[in-house]
Amino acid sequence: MRKIKKIGDLCRRCNTPVILKESKFKESKLKKAYYFTGYFFCPTCKAMYMSVEFQVWNRKSKKRKKVYCQKPLYTVKELKEMDYGRYLKTGHWNRIKKEYWKKHKKICFCCNLDAYVLHHIEYKNRGREKDKDLIPLCEECHNEIHTMILN
């Protein structure tokens, strides 16, 4: 697998020239041993390529490990086409859930008990979900909704 070393190198997925993007992370907010000040980005397929030249060791952390380049993220098209069970295990879905729970209370939409499940109202926006596409449900209401859908 060829490494992306400079701006203009071709993306490994779609052979489009990559551009340089600046990272939003700040050293003071991270607890990891390292962070990246920038990364190479493919504007076509949205793949991210981390490079050790942008890696900075966090002085506040006591951990020191050798770091390898981050695996590129999935494209929206790949997320839509993949099996739903596999999709629910991706970092993308975990990030969507985490952001949703930060903004909304964990209360079931149907019965007002504690909600532990984030349910898709429509599956067509998978890969680019918005808050309006999701509802919080308790396990019992979630199972009931799926039973009604199947019947």
**CATH number, residue 121:** 3.40.1800.10
Average pLDDT over residues 99-123: 90
50 and 106, same structural domain?
no
Global pTM reads: 0.51
Same domain? 138 vs 95: yes
Same domain? For 116 and 65 the reply is no
Query: Which residue type occupies 112?
Result: N
Each residue of 37-67: pLDDT tens digit? 788 899 999 998 888 777 776 665 555 444 4
Structurally, the chain folds into a number of domains equal to 2
Q: What is the pLDDT of residues 7-36, one digit of tens each?
A: 889 998 899 999 988 877 655 556 667 777
Q: Tell me: do 36 and 93 sit in the same domain.
A: no
Task: Work out the pLDDT band at 94, boundaries 50, 70, 90.
Answer: confident
Domain that residue 107 falls in: 82-150
pLDDT grade for 1, boundaries at 50, 70 and 90: low
Confidence of residue 116 (pLDDT cuts 50, 70, 90): confident
Say if residue 101 is in the same domain as residue 40: no
